[in-house]
Amino acid sequence: MTSVLWFRRDLRLGDHAALLAAAEAGGPVLALYVLDEKLLKPSGAPRRAFLLGCLESLDAALDGRLMVVHGDPVREVVRVARSVGASAVHVSADAGPYGRRRDAAVAEALAEHDISWVATGSPYAVAPGRVTKPDGDPYRVFTPFHRAWTRHGWRRPADTGASLVDWLTPVESRQLPAPPDLGELALPTPGEPAALSAWHDFLDSGVRSYATDRDRPDRAGTTRMSPYLRWGAIHPRTMLADLSGGSGDGAQALRSELCWREFHADVLWHRPETARENYDSRFDHMDHDSDSAAFDAWCAGRTGYPIVDAGMRQLLAEGWMHNRVRMVVASFLVKDLHLPWWWGARHFMRHLVDGDLASNQLNWQWVAGSGTDAAPYFRIFNPTTQGEKFDPDGDYVRRYVPELRGVAGKAVHKLKERPSGYPEPLVDHAHERQVALQRYGAITGS
């Protein structure tokens, strides 16, 4: 019996639960991808370019047998499934707000033609909504979620690959569009082989020092796996299995970071409106500024605070930013410039190659204080001391802010004189910190 395997955020052939389900059903399988404008249009150029590269890699692994169509998935998936006489459409379940609505509509449309909808697995080690408190309520604090998630555990990676099924050669397929012009922006190599290579390199050389180096933007201490996880070129279950024998601080820290990704997906599963709205409704009454010139300076890395400017320029140059610096620049936007978190979240999603709705929006809310946290208003990063602590020799700042390359050592974070072309501080942090605390106090009663 013929099946369709509709790829979405699972652009790989290894450790693929939906592929295994299609194989177990028997019969030939058509590999399908739908270019959906509702997802493509809001995506920035780096994300679109990386997606197209992952699709090219997947098509190559399938010997050119990936069928690509463009249009409304409700119409196109049904049309394609009927055209090959498919009895089922197999997918990895989508946990995002749009994906859930889309999949419900596709499943309903398929049912009208007696075609089964089979969702197996998800982009997460533990599917969102699976881990709950004993009373069935969702968690809103990470630490108890982490304990419950660890106790729950996850399946071993699925043993899958291209040879598992007989792939149909599509009779029609749209050529992938040309990737957007990225200028000088350099992205990581897309696709499953590159993902596995990067991951194995990290296991060989980076995991032992991950616990200490991951907060240092001046070092190559992070995994850089987030773009591959975003598009499913590797499954987190694969990574967790490789870490299962490691009890060192690095392996433990990385398991925790993978859990943060799953926690945010779980929060969005239970509260899909938080992709656009405050998790904590008290923050609907927060007093925000609306200074577009200040926002433009932040976007361009022209705030006069070196660590902030380095991070924003790294984003423009690489489509990626170090996680510690993401927190620093986000804190600066919402607590020094008093601008809405969703302005920053939208800018990040436009430029990040790893832009993920759940992780991006809820990390921004965590920094802003409107998300899943008990006392967020105390967490106001001082950009100068953050730079001195996590970029102690100033190497990260000098890498991305050429105006400061003549300033030696940690002095780059606390400039006595401004080199030519580098701006004065946009605001006074000590003053704006007090303003932020007053505004938080007004809505929290603290």
Q: What single string gives the DSSP state of each residue in 271-326? A: -GGGGTS-SSGGGGG------HHHHHHHHHT-SS-HHHHHHHHHHHHHS---HHHH
What is the rounded distance in angstroms from the CA atom of residue 337 to the CA atom of residue 103? 40
**Residue 349 among known ligand-binding residues:** no
Low-confidence stretches of the chain (pLDDT beneath 70): 246-247, 374-377, 446
Q: What is the pLDDT of residue 376?
A: 63
Cβ neighbour number for residue 24 with a 10 Å cutoff: 11
70: three-class secondary structure by DSSP: strand
* pLDDT tens profile 70-82: 999 999 999 999 9
Global pTM reads: 0.96
**Residue 356 among known ligand-binding residues:** yes
**Residue 210 among known ligand-binding residues:** yes
DSSP letter for each residue of 255-283? HHHHHHHHHHHHHHHH-GGGGTS-SSGGG
As beta bridge partners, residue 117 has 89
What is the rounded distance in angstroms from the CA atom of residue 276 to the CA atom of residue 285? 15
Contact status, residue 340 vs residue 320, Cβ threshold 8 Å:
no
Contact status, residue 225 vs residue 2, Cβ threshold 8 Å:
no
**Residue 222 among known ligand-binding residues:** yes
What is the rounded distance in angstroms from the CA atom of residue 50 to the CA atom of residue 46? 6
**Residue 400 among known ligand-binding residues:** no
Nearest to 427 by CA among 435, 437, 419: 435
12: three-class secondary structure by DSSP: coil
Domains and CATH numbers, the chain: 3-122 (3.40.50.620), 124-154+192-270 (1.25.40.80), 281-441 (1.10.579.10)
As beta bridge partners, residue 66 has 31
* pLDDT tens profile 88-120: 999 999 999 999 999 999 999 999 999 999 999
Q: What is the pLDDT of residue 257?
A: 97
**Residue 223 among known ligand-binding residues:** yes
Q: What is the pLDDT of residue 379?
A: 83
Question: Half-sphere exposure of residue 240, counting CA atoms within 13 Å on the CB side?
Answer: 23
Residue 417 tokens, joined? 């004189």
**Residue 372 among known ligand-binding residues:** no
